[in-house]
Amino acid sequence: MATTKLLFTILLTSCLVAPNFIPSKAASAAPESDTPAAQVTSLCEKNEHIVFSCVLKRTAKWVALCSSQDLDKEHGYLQYRFGLPGKIELEFPKGRQSTQQVFRYSHYFRFQVDLTEVNFANEGYQYSVFDNYNGEEKPSISEQGVKITPPGKGREVTYVCQGKAKADYTSLQDALPSEP
C-alpha cells in the first residue's frame, strides 16, 4: 500500500512539474503526414490574392474568392471556389478571361454599418458572397459567408463562416461593375 501511495505521489508531482508530459505511446500514435506544418488558409493559389476566404459551419468546406495580383477592369481574373483543399468542387468561372463581367460588387458603408457583397449567377443559381457588420444591433452582428438561391422558387440557403473570414476587397471597387 505504501508503494502505491509513493508511486501515485511521484506521478502526481511529475504531472504538476511537467504539465505538458505526454506518454510515449500517445505521442507515437499521432498519424504521420506529408503535409507541411503550416495550415491551409484558403483555396487560393500561392501566387493569387485572397479576396475572401473562410471555412463554413455545418459543412467544414471552404469558400473563397481568388484573384490575380493584377486585377483591374481590363486585366487579371477573379474566381469563386468551393470545396476542400486539393478537392475543389466548384470553380467559377472555369476560364480566367474577362471574368470581371460575370461578377457584381456592392458595398454600403455608414457609421456602425458595413455591408459587402459579391454576386454572380451560375447555371440558374444565384450566389452572393457576403461580409456584413451591424454595430447598431446590441450585441453587434458580424457575419460572413455565402448565400445560394436555386432557380425558380427554390429556398435560399445561407452558409456562414466558422470564424472571421479573411477578406480584402480593395481591388474589386475599380475592377467589377457595381450594383446599386
| Res 179: pLDDT | 72
How many structural domains does the chain have?
Answer: 1
Q: Is residue 42 part of a domain?
A: no
Distance CA 56, CA 138 (A): 24
- Are 160 and 57 spatial neighbours (Cβ–Cβ below 8 Å)? yes
Residues 92-143 pLDDT 10s: 999 999 899 999 999 999 999 999 999 999 999 999 999 999 999 999 999 9
DSSP codes joined into one string, 52-109: EEEEBTTT--EEEEEE-TT-SSSS--EEEEEEETTEEEEEESSS-SSGGGT-EEEEEE
In a domain, 25, yes or no: no
What is d(CA 90, CA 82) in angstroms, rounded to the nearest whole number? Answer: 5
pLDDT of residue 180: 62
Q: What residues make up the domain containing 112? A: 49-170
Residue 10 is assigned to a structural domain of this protein: no
What is the grid cell recorded at 162?
Answer: 466558422
List, for the chain, all residue ranges whose pLDDT scores fall below the cut of 50: 1-38
Q: Give the whole-angstrom CA distance, residue 171 versus residue 22.
A: 48
Q: What is the pLDDT of residue 5?
A: 40
**Predicted local distance difference test score (pLDDT) of residue 18:** 34
| Alpha carbons 116 and 172: distance in angstroms, whole number | 11
**pLDDT of the residue at 40:** 64
pLDDT at 94 (0 to 100): 94
Q: How far apart are CA 80 and CA 180, in angstroms?
A: 22
Residue 161 lies in a domain: yes
Residue 39 belongs to some domain of the structure: no
Per-residue pLDDT, 37: 40
Residue 27 lies in a domain: no
Q: Is residue 162 situated within a structural domain?
A: yes
- Residue 23 domain-assigned? no
pLDDT value of position 1: 46
Within 10 angstroms of residue 67's Cβ, the number of other Cβ atoms is 23
